[in-house]
Structure 1
Amino acid sequence: MLVYLTPLLLLLNGLAAGVLFGTQLGGQPYLASLPTDRYVHAHAFFGQRYDPAMPICLVGTFALDTVLALTASDAAAQALFAVAAVLAVTTAVISVVKNAPVNRWMRTLDPDHLPADFQDPRKTWGAWNNRRSLLTIGALVANCLALGVLL
């Protein structure tokens, strides 16, 4: 079972970590540099492109890590898979509670006619995105270490 689950786990976790790493390197700095109206348009554009791929990657990572934490033959690997599962599910919770609502809201706004009470979410959204990125990359590191223990 390990032979089939670990490649899929590394693929899903690697895709999620790669997307979030990419937002740190390019997406978030680009969005931060834009004037408000262009930011709203760009955020709405980017925000809709990652569903449902990111949720599938994160939930898949959590599920596979949980299975491997329960079934791996080595206690150190089990512990590392468990740590990765916690990191992945924490990322998913942050995504659902903090980032996805902003993404949905941004898609409803007209960049040319922003509400008078518009609150620019870049700083808060970016801080939560930074956390998600670190957690997901941490999960990937833990998964690679667990696989290293098993090899």
Structure 2
Amino acid sequence: MSDLLPILLSVTLLMSGVAAGVLLWSVIGGVPLLLSLPAERYVETHQFWGSRFDGLQPLLVTATLVADVVLAVAAPNALTKSLFVVGAATALGVIVISKFRNVPLKRRVMRLDPHNLPPDWEQTDPRREWAAWNLGRTVCGLVAFAANVAVVALLP
């Protein structure tokens, strides 16, 4: 397994880095844009973006979680093992927040007709809640990536 460790770590860095990058982009650019749009344009834009990230993000984050668990088992010392456990735990945090908070809110938006919003839109607009949970999962994703990067500095 030690021969495969650098390869698996490289793949894990790539997956966790891309996932963290997409999440960071959403906090820095996506959320501010979505919050600034009129309701109709918000729904259209969220539906457009939502259909493009649905397959990629869950795959990257789940693969990061699995790889970090495998790497934790094969880690050469306690410190690297701990960092891989942090990576796995925070990747799991991204998954849990996504599944139970962001995805249900997103599903509601994906079902809307942007040209015929519900009469209670002002009270049910999910943007602020979605943005808050998105920030939480972004922090988790960045910590997972940082933990994996930190291992590189510790390996011989």
**With structure 1 as the length reference, what TM-score do the two structures score?**
0.96
Question: Aligned partners of 2:78, 2:153: CA distance in 1, in Å?
Answer: 13
What's the offset of the Cα at 1:117? 2.5
SS at match of 1:110: coil
**With structure 2 as the length reference, what TM-score do the two structures score?**
0.93
From 87, 97, 102, the counterpart of 1:84: 87
RMSD (Å) for aligned C-alpha atoms: 0.9
Is 1:139 paired with 2:144? yes
Q: Which residue of 2 aligns with 1:68?
A: 71
Question: Aligned partners of 1:32, 1:134: CA distance in 2, in Å?
Answer: 20
What's the offset of the Cα at 1:115? 1.2
Identity %: 41
What's the offset of the Cα at 1:16? 0.3
Is 1:114 paired with 2:117? yes
Question: Aligned partners of 1:7, 1:28: CA distance in 2, in Å?
Answer: 30
Question: What's the CA shift string for 1:88-116, capped at 9, x where partnerless?
Answer: 01111111111112222211111111111
Q: Which residue of 1 aligns with 2:57?
A: 54
Q: Which residue of 2 aligns with 1:6?
A: 9
Question: Aligned partners of 2:38, 2:116: CA distance in 1, in Å?
Answer: 14
Of the structure 1 ranges 78-87 and 115-124, higher mean CA displacement relative to structure 2 is found in 115-124
Question: Aligned partners of 2:19, 2:149: CA distance in 1, in Å?
Answer: 14
Greater than 6 Å deviation, 4+ residue runs: none
What's the offset of the Cα at 1:8? 0.6
CA contact (8 A) 1:69 1:79 kept: yes
